């Protein structure tokens, strides 16, 4: 069996996964904006505690803590887990060299992550690649086994967050990513991520998951000044439910055709998520450090949200026209070409009428 030289075609993509990936991507920037001006992980907790929250800042800070922090990274990890099965299923169906393609793909991702880590300490790509190596042997598991394994690993995360007492900023990043990827594999196998349920089903479960997860997270954050360890554990308990609620909410909106314009832009951003993720670091670092220097002091939360909106608009504006002209984002094209050992077609073929 030979190594595949042509990856999955764009016509075979699940748009729902791309939209979710784009949604998670913009959310991740809203969380990372708080730490782009820091030099190392050890400074993160102190930087959050040192934030001056004025009257104008408070709504944005509360919104980020309750709706964004940890939830969007959980969603991104869920989608990476789904992507593992999507890749292995499609390459396996073609009876090609699955193992070689898979490990090459993730070794390259690890390399990109190492380079990204030199630019900013908050890289997750290396962690994702490590988790991918661990998950390959279990790719044939059933939905139930993926769910059980994810629950076991997440229980370890809850224990670690209790002892570390750092809500949203724990040292157990690998376990967090691994557990969410296992849940993502379960959600992909079940068809939930690919619109295989009814609008009613997604509506019901979006309400249930968000109705449970958001209050739990709010209680967790509310206890932060009382007991950091308990606060961390309770907040983290609600994170998977909020992420699952976001998934069901987006799926419901897609099935109803309620957000056609924004879904197309999110889908395009999601198709080139790797490029956009790396670009977020570049833009975030330039904007945050630059404005810090001009102002002579650290950004307020309001300024951070202004930068967030600007970057959102930039990425959603440029991704759609790019994907209309090209098959992949620039980094995705390089990643795929190196994976398959052959330069992939870059420019999109225009239909001849």
Contact 39, 76 (CB under 8 A): no
Per-residue pLDDT, 350: 64
Per-residue pLDDT, 14: 85
pLDDT lower than 50: segments of the chain: 1-12, 165-171, 352-353
Per-residue pLDDT, 48: 73
DSSP track, 270-320: HHTHHHHHHHHHHHHHHHHHHHHHHHTSPPPHHHHHHHHHHHHHHHHHHHH
Per-residue pLDDT, 4: 38
Query: Tens digit of pLDDT for each residue in 73-124?
Result: 999 999 999 999 999 988 866 656 889 999 999 999 999 999 999 999 999 9
Contact 39, 133 (CB under 8 A): no
Per-residue pLDDT, 94: 60
Per-residue pLDDT, 93: 60
Per-residue pLDDT, 8: 43
Per-residue pLDDT, 47: 72
């Amino acid at each position: 069996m030979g190594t595949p030289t042509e990856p999955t075609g764009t016509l075979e993509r699940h748009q729902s996964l791309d939209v979710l990936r784009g949604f998670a991507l913009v959310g991740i920037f809203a969380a990372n904006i708080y730490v782009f001006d820091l030099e190392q992980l050890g400074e993160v907790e102190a930087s959050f505690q040192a934030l001056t929250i004025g009257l104008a800042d408070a709504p944005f800070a509360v919104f980020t803590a309750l709706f964004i922090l940890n939830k969007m990274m959980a969603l991104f990890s869920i989608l990476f887990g789904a992507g593992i099965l999507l890749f292995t299923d499609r390459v396996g169906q073609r009876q090609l060299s699955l193992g070689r393609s898979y490990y090459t793909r993730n070794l390259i991702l690890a390399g990109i992550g190492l380079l990204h880590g030199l630019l900013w300490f908050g890289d997750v790509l290396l962690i994702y690649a490590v988790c991918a190596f661990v998950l390959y042997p279990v790719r044939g598991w059933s939905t139930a086994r993926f769910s059980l394994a994810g629950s076991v690993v997440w229980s370890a995360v809850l224990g670690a967050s209790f002892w570390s007492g750092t809500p949203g900023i724990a040292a157990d990043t690998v376990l967090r990513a691994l557990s969410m990827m296992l849940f993502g594999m379960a959600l992909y196998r079940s068809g939930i991520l690919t619109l295989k349920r009814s609008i009613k089903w997604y509506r019901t479960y979006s309400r249930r998951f968000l109705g449970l997860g958001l209050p739990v997270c709010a209680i967790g954050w509310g206890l932060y000044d009382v007991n950091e360890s308990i606060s961390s554990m309770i907040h983290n308990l609600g994170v998977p439910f909020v992420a699952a609620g976001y998934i069901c909410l987006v799926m419901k909106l897609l099935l109803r055709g309620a957000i056609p314009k924004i879904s197309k832009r999110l889908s395009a951003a999601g198709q080139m998520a790797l490029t956009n993720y790396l670009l977020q670091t570049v833009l975030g670092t330039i904007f945050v450090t630059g404005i810090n220097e001009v102002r002579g002091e650290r950004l307020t939360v309001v300024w951070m949200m202004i930068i967030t909106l600007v970057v959102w608009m930039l990425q959603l504006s440029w991704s759609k026209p790019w994907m209309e002209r090209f098959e992949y984002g620039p980094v995705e094209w390089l990643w795929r070409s190196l994976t398959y050992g052959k330069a992939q077609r870059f420019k999109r073929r225009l239909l001849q009428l």
